[in-house]
Structure 1
Amino acid sequence: MKVVRLYRYPVKGLSSELMAKVELVPGHGFPGDRQYAVTDGSIEIDPVAPQPAAKSHFLMLAKYEALAELQTTFHSQPDRLEVRAKDSTREFKLSDEQDRKELAWHLARMAGADLRGEPKVVYSPGHQFTDVSVHSPDLMRSISLINLETVADLAHRVGMDLDPLRFRANLYFKQAAPSTELDWVGQRLQIGGVILKVVRRTRRCPATSVNPKTAVRDINLPLAIREYRENADLGIYASIERGGTILPGDTLTLLPPSDTPGDAIQESQVE
């Protein structure tokens, strides 16, 4: 099996960023992934002691498909976000309070959000606004993987092209039989010196129904997946047991099962 592409999503619900390589460290998750989010005004996030919150409190694709029309570029040192729409391009300094306010309102307007208060850009060092953060800090720091052969097989069954970016994963791989990855829970994967442990399947949510190229809900994909597999699972999460560098083209190996069975954890949706 081969690693094909690596992505991070600096702001929850916004566009992906292709990575040339990534350095994984146990206990730190996928670097720069979902480190910022924008609330819909329904929750306050303490930057010193953030509490995990359900995706429904944030601007996200499952509810606001118009977010897919925006192309964003994240710049660091200092953190800045460039937001490109059809007729405008703006850059916001994420360290500046006024710019964060303007960014939150800008995204809310672009999304046509049904706000429940003042939207806010939220950030806390070391915290990642992943959907699975609501389950545990360890799961918050897991990484998401997608088998491209599964996506291709599903696309064939539904009779339309499916952009793999619908699934908003960190690591995309190929050369594994379709859907076999769902049986890897509890097993380990090796990529060079990196060891990952598969800890759960990913249950897909309505965000996958949004075409990332057109910002249109062009298929009920969770329903299509259930008809395809008799459940809504597509993709897996893995924790980082041993760190190191991963690059596209690296070999991914499924290690033999250990004597100690892995803990199967309940599936979750991802944004």
Structure 2
Amino acid sequence: MTARVAEIWRHPIKSHGRESLARVTLREGRTMPWDRRWAVAHDAAKADGSEWAPCQNFSRGAKAPRLQAISARSIPAEGTVTLTHPERDEITINPDDAADQARFIDWVKPISPTDRALPDRILRVEDRGMTDTDYPSISILNAASHAQVADRIGREISINRWRGNLVLEGLEPWAERGWIGQRIKLGGAVLEVREEIVRCLATTASTRTGERDADTLNALMTGWGHKQFGVYAEVVQSGEVQKGDPLEILS
């Protein structure tokens, strides 16, 4: 099979849901449109929305595993995001609206651990998503690598545990680890692969239930001697990417 784009995902509110796309236009030097557009600052956060801030300032699946079970649907033209969770009623909000922010905080607190800093406010930084990297990154996953991790765990798990943007199929397992410093082409976009992604406890939680039920980190360590899965890349040439587009390694 020719290596190609199998899935495209974005996460409108960092760590609070994901949605599948058929295509996306990537812009040079930018994060994926509407990916991590907002982030939920907790009540001990120092972030104020004036600039990018590291993940420690935000509610996230590593500390609040039940967040992993949130799904999202967004309508950019209307500025709205709809969130669903197996323990909560569906909610639709405009994350930039103060009243809707308050409704969201009330909605998410019951699925947030009480022994951790609690969700407090939603922040947005102009012109970039609140990725885990201090540069505007796109995260890329290899479906064959995921299959090997699932085999080591002993059962099927969702690839969405890794919270990636682009899922590629038709590759050899772990081929992506050899791309650091290289450029790849997907559809009309060219990306430069910057680094591997070090994983955290968020990946141990089910995207269906939000319960920690699979030791992904131990599987990575015992199987391959590291806790890395997937790679971060930066867009260096704008273009549209859609499901089915082939992968071309340029250099």
* TM-score normalised by structure 1 residue count: 0.85
Identify the residue that residue 242 of structure 1 maps to in structure 2.
237
- Partner secondary structure for residue 119 of structure 1: strand
Q: Give the direction of change, closer, same or farther, for the CA distance of 1:229–1:28 in structure 2 (3 Å limit).
A: same
Instruction: Tell me which residue corresponds to 2:132.
Output: 131
Q: Is the 2:186–2:245 contact (alpha carbons within 8 Å) kept by the matching residues of 1?
A: yes
1:45 aligns to 2:40 (yes or no): no
2:182–2:249 CA contact under 8 A, matched in 1: yes
Q: What is aligned with 2:102?
A: 101
1:123-178 alpha-carbon deviations (Å, 9 max, x no partner): 12213211113xxxxx2x11000000111122122211121111110000011110
Letter in 2 for 1:79: G
Pick which of 28-37 and 151-160 moved more: 151-160
1:45-64 equivalence runs, <5 A = 45-47=47-49, 49-53=50-54, 55-64=55-64
How much does 1:46 deviate?
A: 3.1
Aligned residues: 248
Aligned to 2:152, the other structure's residue is in SS state helix
3-state DSSP of counterpart to 1:10:
coil
Residue ranges of structure 2 left out of the alignment (5+ in a row) = none
The answer to whether the 8 Å contact 1:41/1:115 transfers is no
Given that 1:101 and 1:121 are in contact with CA atoms closer than 8 Å, whether structure 2 keeps it comes out as no
The yes-or-no answer on 1:24 pairing with 2:26 is yes
1:221-255 deviation digits (Å, cap 9, x = unpaired): 11210111111111011111111111100100122
Deviations 1:177-236 (A, max 9, x none): 101211110111112332111110111111110111121211221121011111111101
1:89 matched to which residue of 2?
90
Specify the alignment match of 1:158 in structure 2.
153
Distance 1:123 1:92 in 2: 14
Give the direction of change, closer, same or farther, for the CA distance of 1:44–1:254 in structure 2 (3 Å limit).
same
2:9 is paired with a residue whose SS is strand
Amino acid in the other structure paired with 1:203: V
Q: Is the deviation greater in 76-85 or in 141-150?
A: 76-85
Measure how far apart 1:96 and its partner are: 2.0
Q: Structure 1 residues 94 and 192 mapped into 2: Cα distance closer, same or farther (>3 Å)?
A: closer
Residues 98/69 of structure 1: CA separation in 2 closer, same or farther (3 Å cut) = same
CA distance in 2, matches of 1:4, 1:82: 24
RMSD between superposed Cα atoms in Å: 1.8
- The answer to whether the 8 Å contact 2:31/2:128 transfers is no
C-alpha separation between the residues in 2 aligned to 1:65 and 1:92?
22
Counterpart secondary structure, 2:133: helix
Say if 1:25 and 1:219 are closer, same or farther in 2 by CA, change over 3 A. same
Distance in 1 between the 2:91 and 2:18 partners? 18
Alpha-carbon deviation of 1:56? 2.8
Mark the runs of 5 or more structure 1 residues left unpaired by the alignment.
134-138, 258-271
Read off the aligned partner of 1:122 and give its amino acid letter: L
Q: Is the 8 A contact 2:68 2:161 kept in 1?
A: no
- For residues 59-108 of structure 1, the C-alpha deviation after alignment (integer angstroms, 9 at most, x for no partner) is 11111111233333222233222233445222223232122122123212
SS in 2 for 1:62: coil
Identity of aligned residues (%): 25
**Secondary structure of 2:78's aligned partner:** coil
Match for residue 174 of structure 1?
Answer: 169
**Gap change, CA 1:37 and 1:173, over 3 Å in 2:** same
Q: Does 1:11 align with 2:6?
A: no
Alignment-derived partner of residue 70 in structure 1: 70
How many angstroms apart in 2 are the aligned matches of 1:56 and 1:114?
Answer: 16
